[in-house]
Amino acid sequence: MIRVLLADDEAMIRAGVRAVLAADPAVEVVAEAADGRQAVEAARAHRPDVALLDIRMPVMDGLAACEEIRRAVPGTAVAILTTFSEDAYVSRALGGGATGFLLKSGDPYELMAGVRAVADGGAYLSPKVARHVIAELGGERLTRGTAARARTAGLTAREREVLALLGEGLSNAAIARRLHLVEGTVKGYVSAVLDHLEVGNRVQAAILAYEAGLVTGA
């Protein structure tokens, strides 16, 4: 069972999202919050697998709540669910530890896929957000690619394989299946890769994998 905390200041939005999530018997909304401070308190109290946070909320916005939840309840993955997709929001959300960025205007399937991905330790960007991030890399890709390749040059062959699969948004379990390794071994590789690259989370590593040309089709 994937236990979810849902935070949005609009009750109608919470009801709609809850209805979508209820269609999956493996997902349970265990708590709701109407502002960021309530979301942090609910995360501490319920320790959900996933916190779905709106950005614009009173008392504390979703981005600040994301950072606090990641510090206070590191076992809870955070996905931002919002109508806003501006660069600053995406960058701050990912920098603050979010591993998902979903748009309310997206297909309900995206919501379900995103919740499942981040709950499983992977990463998920709404396709519209992903296209935007990739497009933003376009003009600078040669320069950024050179820098990324230099940063990844010190990785072992196996660590590069793991980084490439992180770039595809795979969880530790999925990487283990792909590489025929035990999950604990993959967890060690992921930790080593993040430390070597000096990045704070899997999404930042995934972007670096894309810039370095390690992702299939990149």
Across the strands, what pairs with 80?
A: 53, 101
pTM: 0.66
Strands of 43-146, DSSP E: 50-53, 77-82, 100-103, 124-125
Closest-CA residue to 40 (of 68, 71, 13):
68
| d(C-alpha 164, C-alpha 84), whole Å | 29
Contact 189, 159 (CB under 8 A): yes
pLDDT of residue 218: 46
Residues 6+ apart with CB under 8 A from 115: 2, 4, 21, 27, 50, 52, 79, 100
pLDDT of residue 142: 46
Locate CATH 1.10.10.10 in the chain. 140-212
CB 124 within 8 A of CB 111: no
Query: What is the CA 92 to chain-centroid distance, rounded?
Result: 12
Q: Residue 157 burial by CB count (10 A; 0-12/13-18/19+): exposed, middle or buried?
A: exposed
Q: Which helix (H) or strand (E) holds 10?
A: none
Residues of the chain with pLDDT under 50: 139, 141-142, 218
Question: Homologous superfamily of 2-134 in CATH?
Answer: Response regulator (3.40.50.2300)
CATH 3.40.50.2300-classified regions of the chain: 2-134
Q: How far apart are CA 50 and CA 32, in angstroms?
A: 12
Quick check: 120 and 171 in contact, CB under 8 A?
yes
Cβ partners under 8 Å of residue 89, min gap 6: 55, 63, 80, 82
Which residues fall within 8 angstroms of residue 80, CB to CB, at 6 or more apart?
Answer: 53, 54, 55, 62, 63, 66, 89, 93, 98, 100, 101, 102
Instruction: Compute φ and ψ for 33, nearest 5 degrees.
Output: -145, 150
Residues in the chain: 218
Which CATH class, in words, describes the domain spanning 140-212? mainly alpha
